Amino acid sequence: MLNVTGELSGDSWGIFTFLCAALCNLPALPALNCSEELGAGQSIQQTYDLTRYLEHQLRTLAGTYLNYLGPPFNEPDFNPPRLARAERVPSATVDLDLWRGLTDNARLAANYRAYSRLLCYLRVLDGQVGTAELRHRLAHFCASLQGLVLSIGGVMSSLGYPLPAGPAGPPAPPGAPAAPNDFLKKMDDFWLLKELQTWLWRSAKDFNRLKKKVPPAVVTLRLEARGF
């Protein structure tokens, strides 16, 4: 207790000394650690952001590549029918009501398979172009698209969905004939870019809806005991 002069009395000084000694000999207190679990919500957000980035990246790449192909492929109103040869490229032309009626698992699996196969075609394309600048742009885009495939796989895993079984397969079935002329070869390239553009547009909408259904990442508090 404090006396009238503000000094510690004998009893109070003894209690104070005991408390100081006890505190000095206590083991380290458990540390409070705040960590964020990177769950499905954040994985979906990152995949959505990557999809939008690829959309922007493809607009620049497609313009450059279509100019490389020349007329009529670089003309704004060029819209040829899809040939039977182009059926090997995964098509995003699906009725929107039918697509939205699929389960999240089915849509994610379809995206995963499509981008895996589109990536195979793009890598073949990368080895055929004649300019160093375009090869560099294609290689950069392929690396980003590979990241999207891995990111979609991460979303599926975080939601408890299995990845589609088996590899995506080669760009063309064994024995499939090459384009009989240069124009049809350019037509194949045109449809590859067109389908890729549609896939990315629809995927961005898919992941935007999905992230609204999944709760945000959970912040957890964890006690880390030290010194015990």
For the chain, what is the domain count? Answer: 1
- Locate all alpha helices (DSSP H) within the chain, ordered by sequence: 10-24, 40-69, 96-100, 104-126, 132-158, 182-213
pLDDT, tens only, 168-197: 444 444 344 566 688 888 888 999 999 999
Whether residue 26 lies inside any domain: the answer is no
107 in a domain, yes or no?
yes
R_g of the chain computed on alpha carbons: 30
Neighbours of 112 (CB within 10 A): 22
pLDDT in tens, 50-101: 999 999 999 999 999 999 999 999 998 998 887 766 567 778 777 888 888 9
User: What is the rounded distance in angstroms from the CA atom of residue 81 to the CA atom of residue 65?
Assistant: 20
Lowest mean pLDDT among 140-144, 157-161, 183-187, 218-222: 218-222
Is 198 within the bounds of a domain?
A: yes
Q: What is the pTM of this model?
A: 0.73
In a domain, 2, yes or no: no
Q: Which residue has the higher pLDDT, 200 or 31?
A: 200
Confidence of residue 130 (pLDDT cuts 50, 70, 90): confident
Residue 23's pLDDT is: 44
CATH assignment of the domain containing 96: 1.20.1250.10
What is each CA distance from 138 to 53, 93, 104, 133, 172, in whole angstroms? Answer: 15, 24, 30, 9, 20
Characterize 183-221 residue by residue with b for buried, 16 or more Cβ atoms within 10 angstroms of its Cβ, and e for exposed: eeebbbbbbbbbbbbebbebbbebbeebbeebeeeeeee
**Enclosing domain of residue 105:** 35-213
Q: What is the arithmetic mean of pLDDT over 141-158?
A: 95
